[in-house]
Amino acid sequence: MARLPRIGSPGIPQHIIQRGNNRQACFGSDRDFAAYAHWLEECARQSGVAIHAWVFMTNHVHLLATPETANAVSHMMQTLGRRYVRYFNRAYQRTGTLWEGRFKSCVIDAENYLLLCQRYIELNPVRAGMVNHPGDYAWSSYRANSLGHAAKLRTPHQAYCELGRSAADRAAAYRALFTGQMESTQLEQIRLATNQGMVLGSDRFKDNVERLSQRRVYPLKPGPKAGQQRADG
C-alpha cells in the first residue's frame, strides 16, 4: 500500500515521535540530551516551528509543535537528525543509522486535544516507571509549563495561555490537569493517530483537514475475512 503524504498545515499543531532504530538507545548521557535540546531549539527557530512541549526518553522523543509553513516540521527534523547523528556517532565511535526511518506525526485539534496531548507527552516518564511524578524528570517540558522554569526551547500555545491571566495562574491551572490519570481510550487515540499519521481531533476537525489537505484522514476499515467473503458470496 502506498504511503500517505504527511499532513503539514501551517498553524496547526502536530504531535511528533522519533524513535531509535530497532528501539536502540539514542541518548547515553545528560550531555547527549543537552546537545539534542540545543540543536532542536536552533533548528526549530531556523525552520519556523514553535515547540510547546517535549520529552526526551532513552530511545525516543516526543514533541508538540506548530509549524509556520507546510514543510517546516520536516525541514526541522531532517536538519536536527543529521546534526545529532553526526554528534552521536562521533561520541560513541559508531557508524550507520540512529533513527527508525521517518518520524511519525499527526495534526491536532488544538481547541479540544492540545493540552491532552501535552499531558500525554509529559507523563511518558511516569508511564515508563522512570519517575513517580513528571516534575522529577529533567528532560521534559513539564517544569517549564507547570512551575514556570525558564526554557529557551518553549513557546506556549494559545490553549495554554488561556488557562489564566497571569503566569502563576496558568502554571497552577496546568498542574491541576495532572491530578488524575489519563484514560486508556485517550492514550489509544493519541497513539493510533500518531503512528498512523492521521488526525487527533473531533470528526468536524477531521473533515475540515481532509477537505483542505485533499488526503484521507480516517483509517481504512479492515476488509472481510476470506471465510466471510465466501459465505456472503
125-152 pLDDT, tens digit each = 999 999 999 999 999 999 999 999 999 9
How many whole angstroms separate alpha carbon 131 and alpha carbon 133?
6
Domain 14-204 has CATH 3.30.70.1290: yes
* Cβ-defined contacts of 164-170 (< 8 Å, 24+): none
What percentage of the chain exceeds 70 in pLDDT? Answer: 92
Q: What is the pLDDT of residue 2?
A: 52
Q: Where are the domains of the chain?
A: 14-204
Q: Other CB atoms closer than 10 Å to residue 225's CB: what's the count?
A: 9
Question: Within a 13 Å sphere around the CA of 90, how many CA atoms are in the beta-carbon half?
Answer: 7
Q: Other CB atoms closer than 10 Å to residue 48's CB: what's the count?
A: 16
Q: What is the pLDDT of residue 232?
A: 36
What is the pLDDT averaged over residues 60-64? 98
Under 8 Å between Cβ of 27 and 92? no
pTM listed for this prediction: 0.90
